[in-house]
Amino acid sequence: MRGKQFFRDVPIKQKLIYMCVITTAFALLLTSAVFVVYEYLTVRRSMVSELIAVANTIGKLNSAALVFGDRKESTETMKALSSIPNIVYAATYNREGEVFSEYKRTGFDGGANFALPPGDGYSFGITRLEVFRRIMLEGEAIGTIYIVSDLKEFYAMVVLYALFLLAIMVCALFGSYLLSSRLQKVVTEPLAELTTLMAVISKKKDYTLRTDVTGRDEAGYLARGFNEMLETIQKRDEELAAHYKRLEELVEERTAELADANKKLHEELSERFRVEEALRQSENMYRVIFENTGTASIIVEEDTTILLANTEFERLTGRSRSELEGKKSWTVFIDKDHIEKMLEYHQLRRIDPGSVPGSYESVTADRDGNKKNVIITVAVIPGTGRSIASVLDITNLKRLEEQLQQSHKMEAIGQLAGGVAHDFNNILTAIIGYGAIMQMKMEKENPFRAYVETIMSAAEKAANLTQGLLAFSRKQLIAPRPININSVVRDFEKLIKRLIGEDVELVTSFSEEDLTVYADSGQIGQVLMNLAANARDAMPGGGRLRIETSAAVIDDAYIKAHNYGKPGKFVLTVLSDNGVGMSKEVSERIFEPFFTTKEVGKGTGLGLSIVYGIIKQHNGYVDVESEAGTGTTFRIYLPFSGEENEAEEAVPAPKELRGGNETILLCEDDAGVRAFAKELLEQYGYRIIEATDGEDAVRQFTDNRDRIDLAIIDVIMPKKNGRVVYDEVKSIKPDAKAIFMSGYSADIIHKKGIFEKDIHFITKPIIADKFLEKVRQVLDL
Amino acid sequence: MVKKKRKIFFIALFFLFASLSASIFSVCGEEKTVSEYEVKAAFLYNFVKFIDWPDGSQGEGKGVVNVCMFGSGPIDSELAKLKDKVVKGMRFVVKYTRSTEEFRGCHMLFVCNSEKGRLREALKAVKRKGILTVGDTEGFAQKGVIINFYLEDKKIRFEINLDAAREARFSISSQLLRLARIVKDE
């Protein structure tokens, strides 16, 4: 098959050559074969006949010896065979068939063990030719001769023949090849020409070319056919070109139409994409809005089943979306007590949406029963029975609102207390002032003295009540100065002991460090008293109250742990008891105003709130640590001031009250107080210019600016308050001296109720000796 | 056909040979081996094949080989067995002669040992008569007998007096000559 394929692929030229050569080879082979066979047979025959002749001759020559039994002679005769090289063995047999004589060529190792066949004959074997002949004498067989000839010569001749034939064949084939190489051109040249032309045409696509091969043979016929075909192709090409052109025009037309349609389609598609995209974005947007409003929102079916819930709603209810969506009715989360109200609302809404507001307050309850105040805003999604409900947790707002209310309440109480205190102090000033004057002027033996003293002590109690009111409203004036906390504690130790009673042991422990704070010692004392009272109430069966002082540092770790504080050095005062203690809930609210665990009437609910207020006013912190059953510990941090203790103002030994002849402008709207003050001061030699309100005070000062040495200004006055008066006085006469009088702190003159350092003031109710002393002190500056 | 004929011929030859050898056994034997005369008889027979008689010598009695016995000996009986055998197309005939006159018509004359004394007479008688003389006595050949048997290594061999043969115008086959010891007249 491969040969066939190969033969198909070779050029015709080669094919022709091959054909010639193969034909020649075949003819030669056939001839040679016949020749060889003939020669073989001839040679064989001649060899056989030659050998037979030899056998006959030798037989003949041996006949006498055979007849007369002369073996020696016979053997001698046989030696004549040595002249024939092919013969390797010969033997004569006598009539009895015994070997009579032998001849062996040297090197031959066969023997005469040869079963003599009867008669004549030969055997042409592969390697040897054997001949046996009867020896005849006068028509009588007297024995047999047997001759063996090898075939070396024969084969040598065969080889020679073969070589000779091969040589002839090679020469003949070569000759045939040369000849056919020349002769094939006659056939192949026109074909090659045609082929080349065909190649040129198929390459250039030029169908105008023609072949010039002529002749009446097949090649010529092929050439004519080829030319005709080219003619046809050329014509067809031209037609095709025309068709093609027309088709192209048509296609162009159609393409344009198609492009148009395509463009329209594209526009439509992109429009649709745009719409879809917008829709998707819108959907996304609303989903994001729904998810991220920060308000718990749900979409509910008409039957109140939750369709969608957002993360905030999950948080609110403490349930995952998969637990909610499609499974729960949202009324499940409404507090039992509020469901009726809610259902009523929704019924109303269904009847007439305009009749009810869009939202309402309600209370939810999570699975642990924790309640939350919420505002539920409901809107019906148009075209569906669904509603969207936003549940806004206002629990914290509610609480803040309550706190604000509380704060407002406090503020109101403060305002009330301040207002009352102002007028009350003025009244008390008159009472105490005139009382004091009365005491001064009364004879010691005067029987009414006891009444006056009673009046005085009652007035003093009234004054204390005013102070208390001012304290919890944080409106009281404090006069801080650098003091050592240890000394404050020591000062109040006795009072505390008396307060806590004998059942409770007081243990104090003071640090030797510098514990100077900038504080109002009276206020701090009140703090201690309030806390001690609290401790006492916590230890109804007795116990131990411990007060310790130490230096402390508030660092970042502390701030982190307590969520408040400013880093820095502080003075720490710790009050701890081993009483009943309190729960966490209680301790968390302990500083809230009016929060009390005590029975009604036993406490005001203000004690610890006052503590908190005072410490705050001092820029300090107070915290509580308590455990029910083990006791309570309060820690008070006050900023360390580091200022030297004011040399324990040499307690002015009860000295003579000194007067003077200076001129004092007394600005006081309250007539009683003004009269009392005027009288008191005039008694001690001072000249008094009175002013009844702020404007009057300024006018008086302007008129008498050179005469006035000191202005005593009431803080709260009609028309112009004390602060304004003071500022105007200062602008007229910068070195003017002034003392303010006040019953409580108004923001007019100070911040946070603390006086500026160069401002002097006297608290109402005015105590005569303290008043005179202050006046003298300021005048002497 | 030929093959068959040949076969029959061979078988016949075999029988002939067998009977011949049997007959030789009892005739012309001296105190030597019986087979000696048998062989000698066969030799006599075979000589015919290798020797050509001179022309005209067989004019009388054509188609017959007359073997004449001169004297008597153990060979007689052996020769008798060869009687009527055909050799070279001729019948083998044995004749017994007493006198030289009886030699007429003989082709071969076997001079027995017993006639040693009459050898010269006999040889004279056969001269130019074309009669092949054969003896088996030592010295006969030198005395003019053409072929004479002798023993060598217990084998029967023969000697030929070529001169005598030439004189008698016998042509003896070279083959035969090669086998024989050639002697001359004394």
Any residues with CB less than 8 A from the CB of A307 and at least 6 apart, and which?
Answer: A298, A299, A300, A301, A325, A326, A386
* pLDDT recorded at residue A245: 93
Tokens standing for residue B137: 């006595």
Summarize pLDDT for A521-546 with one digit per residue, the tens. 878 888 888 888 888 888 888 888 99
Instruction: Specify whether the CB–CB gap between A586 and A597 falls below 8 A.
Output: yes
Q: Please tell me the CATH code under which domain A481-639 is placed.
A: 3.30.565.10
Nearest residue in A to B87, CA atom:
A138
Q: How far apart are the C-alpha atoms of A293 and A419, rounded to whole Å?
A: 48
Query: Of the given ranges (A321-330, A427-436, A643-652), which has the lowest mean pLDDT?
Result: A643-652
- The H or E element containing residue A708 is strand A708-714
pLDDT category of residue A602 using cuts at 50, 70 and 90: low
- Which of A433, A538, A524, A508 has the alpha carbon at shortest distance from A770? A433
Summarize pLDDT for B78-123 with one digit per residue, the tens. 888 888 888 888 888 888 888 888 888 888 898 888 888 888 888 8
CB-CB neighbors (< 8 A) of A74 in chain B: none
Instruction: Specify whether the CB–CB gap between A69 and B152 falls below 8 A.
Output: no
* pLDDT recorded at residue A289: 87
Rounded (10°) angle between helices A485-500 and A521-538: 40
As a whole number, mean pLDDT of residues B6-32 equals: 48
Average pLDDT, chain A: 82
β-pair type (A708-714, A737-742): parallel
What ipTM score was computed for the predicted complex, to two decimals? 0.72
pLDDT category of residue B53 using cuts at 50, 70 and 90: confident
Summarize pLDDT for A16-53 with one digit per residue, the tens. 888 888 888 888 889 888 888 888 888 888 888 988 99
CB-CB neighbors (< 8 A) of A65 in chain B: 175, 178-179
**Fold (topology level) of A663-779:** Rossmann fold (3.40.50)
Q: How far apart are the C-alpha atoms of A771 and A764, rounded to whole Å?
A: 10
pLDDT category of residue A418 using cuts at 50, 70 and 90: low
Q: How far apart are the C-alpha atoms of B16 and A565, rounded to whole Å?
A: 171
Nearest residue in A to B4, CA atom:
A119
Q: How far apart are the C-alpha atoms of A583 and A587, rounded to whole Å?
A: 6
Q: Do A64 and B88 count as a contact with CB atoms less than 8 A apart?
A: no
Query: Can you list the positions of beta strands (E) in B8-129?
Result: 51-52, 64-70, 86-87, 90-97, 108-111
Give the three-state DSSP class for A216: coil
Select the residue of B13, B17, B179 nearest A64 (Cβ to Cβ).
B179
Residue B18: pLDDT over 50: no
* pLDDT recorded at residue A250: 93
Beta bridge partners of A508: A547
Nearest-CA distance from A91 to chain B in Å?
18
Nearest-CA distance from A68 to chain B in Å?
7
Q: How far apart are the C-alpha atoms of A680 and A154, rounded to whole Å?
A: 185
Chain pair A-B, CB pairs under 8 angstroms:
33
Select the residue of A73, A138, A141 nearest B178 (Cβ to Cβ).
A73
The residue ranking higher by pLDDT, A650 or A336, is A336
Residue B26: pLDDT over 50: no
Residue A652: pLDDT over 60: no
The residue ranking higher by pLDDT, B140 or A6, is B140
Residues 75-134 of A with CB under 8 A from B: 95, 119
Rounded (10°) angle between helices A671-683 and A395-441: 40
Sequence-distant contacts of A440-447: CB under 8 A, at least 24 apart: A440/A768
Nearest residue in A to B176, CA atom:
A64
Beta bridge partners of A133: A145
* pLDDT recorded at residue B12: 52
Summarize pLDDT for A327-372 with one digit per residue, the tens. 777 777 888 888 888 888 888 877 777 777 878 888 888 777 778 8
Q: How far apart are the C-alpha atoms of A700 and A7, rounded to whole Å?
A: 147
Select the residue of B10, B17, B50 nearest A64 (Cβ to Cβ).
B50
Percent of chain A surpassing pLDDT 90: 6
β-pair type (A568-577, A516-519): unpaired
Listed by start position, the domains of chain A span 2-173, 293-393, 481-639, 663-779
Strand ordering across the sheet containing A621-627: A504-509, A543-554, A568-577, A631-639, A621-627
Which of the listed ranges A258-262, A374-378, B69-73 does the model predict with the highest average pLDDT?
A: A258-262
Q: Do A67 and B88 count as a contact with CB atoms less than 8 A apart?
A: no
pLDDT category of residue A599 using cuts at 50, 70 and 90: low
Q: Do B49 and A138 count as a contact with CB atoms less than 8 A apart?
A: yes
Distance (Å) of CA A309 to CA A284, A312, A330, A368, A644: 15, 8, 10, 20, 66
DSSP string, A535-596: HHHH-TT-EEEEEEEEEEEE-HHHHHHHS---SEEEEEEEEEE-S----HHHHHHTTSTT--
As a whole number, mean pLDDT of residues A731-753 equals: 69
Q: Which residue out of B38, B87, B178, B181 would a mutagenesis test of the A interface target, given it has the greatest number of A Cβ atoms within 10 Å?
A: B178
Q: How far apart are the C-alpha atoms of A321 and A298, rounded to whole Å?
A: 10
Q: Do B13 and A141 count as a contact with CB atoms less than 8 A apart?
A: yes
pLDDT category of residue B138 using cuts at 50, 70 and 90: confident
CB-CB neighbors (< 8 A) of B13 in chain A: 140-141
CB-CB neighbors (< 8 A) of B178 in chain A: 64-65, 73
Cα A589–chain centre separation:
41
Location of structure tokens 């000697």: B159
**Fold (topology level) of B2-183:** Rossmann fold (3.40.50)
Residue B24: pLDDT over 50: no
Residue A435: pLDDT over 50: yes
Tokens standing for residue B120: 């010269």
* pLDDT recorded at residue A397: 83
Query: Of the given ranges (A455-469, A502-516, A614-628, B90-104), which has the lowest mean pLDDT?
Result: A455-469
Nearest residue in B to A70, CA atom:
B179
pLDDT category of residue A477 using cuts at 50, 70 and 90: low
Q: Do B155 and A69 count as a contact with CB atoms less than 8 A apart?
A: yes
Q: Do A73 and B179 count as a contact with CB atoms less than 8 A apart?
A: yes
β-pair type (B90-97, A481-484): unpaired
- Which of B148, B152, B154, B122 has the alpha carbon at shortest distance from B136? B148
Any residues with CB less than 8 A from the CB of B107 and at least 6 apart, and which?
Answer: B53, B57, B58, B65, B66, B67, B68, B130, B131, B132
Summarize pLDDT for A230-262 with one digit per residue, the tens. 888 888 888 988 999 999 999 999 999 999 999
Summarize pLDDT for A663-715 with one digit per residue, the tens. 999 998 888 888 888 888 888 889 899 888 888 888 888 888 888 888 898 88
Select the residue of B3, B87, B179 nearest A70 (Cβ to Cβ).
B179
Average pLDDT, chain B: 78
Instruction: Specify whether the CB–CB gap between A509 and A546 falls below 8 A.
Output: yes
* pLDDT recorded at residue A264: 93
Summarize pLDDT for A133-168 with one digit per residue, the tens. 888 887 788 888 888 888 888 888 888 888 888 898
* pLDDT recorded at residue B54: 83
Residue A407: pLDDT over 90: no
| Cα angle for residues A149, A155, A161 (degrees, 5° grid) | 140
Q: Domain A2-173 class?
A: alpha beta
Q: Do A64 and B87 count as a contact with CB atoms less than 8 A apart?
A: no
Listed by start position, the domains of chain B span 2-183
Nearest-CA distance from A139 to chain B in Å?
8
A429 class by beta-carbon count within 10 Å (0-12 exposed, 13-18 middle, 19+ buried): buried
Nearest-CA distance from B66 to chain A in Å?
18
Rg (C-alpha) for chain B, rounded Å, is 16
Instruction: Specify whether the CB–CB gap between A591 and A611 falls below 8 A.
Output: yes
pLDDT category of residue A654 using cuts at 50, 70 and 90: very low
CB-CB neighbors (< 8 A) of B179 in chain A: 64-65, 68, 70, 73
The residue ranking higher by pLDDT, A585 or A120, is A120
The residue ranking higher by pLDDT, A659 or A26, is A26
Residues 48-77 of A with CB under 8 A from B: 61, 63-65, 67-70, 73
Q: Please tell me the CATH code under which domain A293-393 is placed.
A: 3.30.450.20
Instruction: Specify whether the CB–CB gap between A727 and A638 falls below 8 A.
Output: no
CB-CB neighbors (< 8 A) of B49 in chain A: 67, 137-138
Location of structure tokens 């030797």: A512
Q: Residue B102 carries which DSSP code?
A: G
Alpha helix stretches (DSSP H) within A81-217 = 152-204
pLDDT category of residue A271 using cuts at 50, 70 and 90: very high
Distance (Å) of CA A736 to CA A244, A664, A726, A729: 120, 11, 9, 7
